[in-house]
Amino acid sequence: MGDTIADSGRGPVNLYEAEETRLLYLAVRDSLKLLLELGGHAVATYGSGESFLRDRPVRASRTRQCILLDLDMPGMNGLELLDRLRAEGTAPPVIIITGRGKAVDEIEAAGAAALLEKPFAESALLACIESVLAQSALA
């Protein structure tokens, strides 16, 4: 990553690694939100694990829901958030996405309902969510 200079015709724009990472995270989050909404799901997004803990809605007991977490999100990472939710006893099923294959054992030990390794197909994400929601409906 490092420095990136883009010439938009209006002068160069300098993006540094932290900003590139944040912009990439936002683009992926917004793309996933659109994909899930097109798949018929109601979606709420949060900028970080901390904002989720602060702003999350109260879970209705009859509502089928799951949480999709990236292992490497800004601030509190996905496993830290999963640990907090499990400690509170408030966690609906959690799907963790990661680009770090070596973290699989750690994710399974944390109690995630499912794991998707990047890159993944849109159909794989939608099938994973449907599977997790169906399993949670049976529980």
Q: Where are the domains of the chain?
A: 25-138
User: Which residues does 9 contact at the CB level (< 8 Å), separation at least 6?
Assistant: none
- Three-state secondary structure call for residue 80: helix
**Would you state the pLDDT for residue 135?**
87
Residues 6+ apart with CB under 8 A from 71: 77, 78, 79, 96, 97, 98, 99, 100, 103, 107
pLDDT of 32 reads 92
Q: pTM of the full predicted structure?
A: 0.78
Q: What is the pLDDT of residues 55-112, one digit of tens each?
A: 887 665 567 789 998 888 778 888 899 999 889 887 789 999 988 776 777 787 788 8
What is the CATH architecture assignment of 25-138?
A: 3-Layer(aba) Sandwich (3.40)
**What local confidence, expressed as pLDDT, does residue 47 receive?**
83
At residue 13, the pLDDT reads 52
